[in-house]
Amino acid sequence: MNLFKKIDDHSDLMGKMSQKVGVDWSEKLADNPELARQYRGAVMTCTHCRSVGECKGWQAEHASAEEAPDYCLNKDLLGRLAEG
């Protein structure tokens, strides 16, 4: 898979997962532009996921959720951001 396509695909997955757990990156970045580094890091972390199919299925089944599934490599980060 082309590197840029992989990053784009995982950016989409990470963005959707963020929305499911109540993290609005646009709002977070507007309030604190320094979080852009964390966002980029989260996308890169997502590229190492071995549960992409499971993640896509989980996202299709959940309009929203209290937290990301345990296999999500960004679960802790998203949990902290969702809390405030």
What's residue 43's pLDDT? 97
From the list 37, 46, 35, 59, the residue with the least C-alpha distance to 8 is 46
Instruction: Specify whether the CB–CB gap between 21 and 64 falls below 8 A.
Output: yes
- Domain of residue 61 covers 3-83
Instruction: Report residue 1's pLDDT band, with 50, 70 and 90 as the boundaries.
Output: low
Asked if the model's pLDDT at residue 84 lies above 80, the reply is no
Instruction: Specify whether the CB–CB gap between 68 and 74 falls below 8 A.
Output: yes
Q: Is this prediction's pTM over 0.85?
A: yes
Angle at 71 (CA atoms; ends 68, 73), nearest 5 degrees: 80
Number of domains comprising the chain: 1
Tell me what the mean pLDDT of segment 29-35 comes to: 94
Asked if the model's pLDDT at residue 25 lies above 70, the reply is yes
